[in-house]
Amino acid sequence: MQQPTIQQLDIFADSRDVMLRNDVLEPLQRRDAVAARTALELLAGEYPDDGALPAMSVLVRELERGSPTPFSDHETLASARRHLEDEVVPAARRVLPAQNVQSWLTPCWRALAQRAESLPFRTADADSHAVPLWLLAGDGAAAIEAVEAIESWSRIPAPLAWMTEARYRAAGLDAAWPLLAQLAWLAPARFVALLPTLGDASLDALRRRFDAEFPGTGEVDDYLWFPAWLLLVKPALAGRLGEVRVQRDQAASRATALLGEIRRREHEGDQHELIGLRQELSRLHAGLFDTYMATRKVQHR
């Protein structure tokens, strides 16, 4: 059960303990470590059992311990990130006004990102890198720059997912569609994991519709076919998805390109070519082919 915030516990706004808590909160929100420490010690001296003391102490120490020293290795960064996630974030949520929590934490994430900039990307320690920290700090431009410094980033699931999120944050869903398609083909599990992070209502609705309608196996690899299925339910995305380089060694990618070609042939009225293209689509994924035929209200013969 979620603990009530300090504000919810403040029944008598003029009581001594409330006043002392507020005296700590004010410099905390200004990120004034010296004033916050002084006020915290006064609160602790008069009310040593006050329920806010542990969380406030964590936040004051976080302000005091700030260091610009670059991380020497991935393990040190991982430890610092765990401290922020497991101790500082809950403490901020415990005592700060809800609308101020994210803005208070942003400099913390930014400081970690800056200290992590010299660490190279390692697949085994993907989260121990500057990019996810820049994303948590809300700095999409810095995240994009850091991803682009990773060799072959578009062929590696983690940095491709980071770039997708950064582009989405910077320019919206339309700009992110090509990267989303690439991610679905390269790492469908990572694609699915990214969707709640983006929190896009229209994308979430498409995902639910895909889950309900796509004739797959129900496994995560079904999402390999999400871009191709999109062309059937959202034909207007053909231009954006057409920007993605086709992965010739992957059936789902070829099917997406094939559906784009089928749409063009239909527009031209080239029935002879359509027969062969439709047969090829059927060979790639019979269920997707049936969905395609259903959208045109044509029975498969």
Reported confidence tier of residue 4, pLDDT bands at 50, 70, 90:
low
Q: What is the pLDDT of residues 215-262, one digit of tens each?
A: 999 999 999 999 999 999 999 999 999 899 888 889 999 999 999 999
Task: Please compute the mean of the pLDDT values over residues 138-147 and round it to a whole number.
Answer: 96
* pLDDT (0 to 100) of residue 5: 55
Query: In the predicted model, is pLDDT for residue 81 greater than 60?
Result: yes
Q: Is 174 helix (H, G, I), strand (E, B) or coil?
A: helix
Task: Please compute the mean of the pLDDT values over residues 122-145 and round it to a whole number.
Answer: 95
Distances (CA, A) of 222 to 43, 58, 91, 176, 217: 57, 44, 40, 20, 7
Q: What are phi and psi of 175, to 5 degrees?
A: -70, -25
* pLDDT (0 to 100) of residue 61: 97
* pLDDT (0 to 100) of residue 298: 47
* pLDDT (0 to 100) of residue 45: 95
Distances (CA, A) of 219 to 21, 25, 282: 51, 48, 20
* pLDDT (0 to 100) of residue 2: 53
Asked if residues 179 and 167 have their Cβ atoms less than 8 Å apart, the reply is yes
**Calpha distance 143→223 (Å, rounded):** 26
Task: Please compute the mean of the pLDDT values over residues 66-71 and round it to a whole number.
Answer: 90
* pLDDT (0 to 100) of residue 300: 43
Q: Which residues contact 263 (CB under 8 A, 6 or more apart)?
A: 231, 235, 238
Query: In the predicted model, is pLDDT for residue 265 greater than 90?
Result: no
Query: In the predicted model, is pLDDT for residue 3 greater than 70?
Result: no
Task: Please compute the mean of the pLDDT values over residues 153-178 and round it to a whole number.
Answer: 96
CA neighbor of 155 nearest in space, from 128, 179, 130: 179
Predicted TM-score (pTM) above 0.75? yes
- Cβ atoms within 10 Å of 148's Cβ, excluding its own: 12
* pLDDT (0 to 100) of residue 266: 86
What's the chain's average pLDDT? 92
Q: At what angle do helices 226-233 and 286-295 cross, to 10 degrees?
A: 10
* pLDDT (0 to 100) of residue 6: 53
Q: Which residues contact 136 (CB under 8 A, 6 or more apart)?
A: 105, 109, 113
Query: In the predicted model, is pLDDT for residue 95 greater than 50?
Result: yes
Share of the chain above pLDDT 70, in %: 93
Query: In the predicted model, is pLDDT for residue 87 greater than 50?
Result: yes
**Calpha distance 185→188 (Å, rounded):** 6
All structural domains of the chain with their residue ranges:
171-301
Query: In the predicted model, is pLDDT for residue 201 greater than 70?
Result: yes
Q: Is 83 left (phi over 0), alpha (psi -120 to 50) or beta?
A: alpha
Q: What is the pLDDT of residues 10-60, one digit of tens each?
A: 444 458 899 999 999 999 999 999 999 999 999 999 999 999 999 999 999
- Cβ atoms within 10 Å of 94's Cβ, excluding its own: 20
Reported confidence tier of residue 295, pLDDT bands at 50, 70, 90:
confident
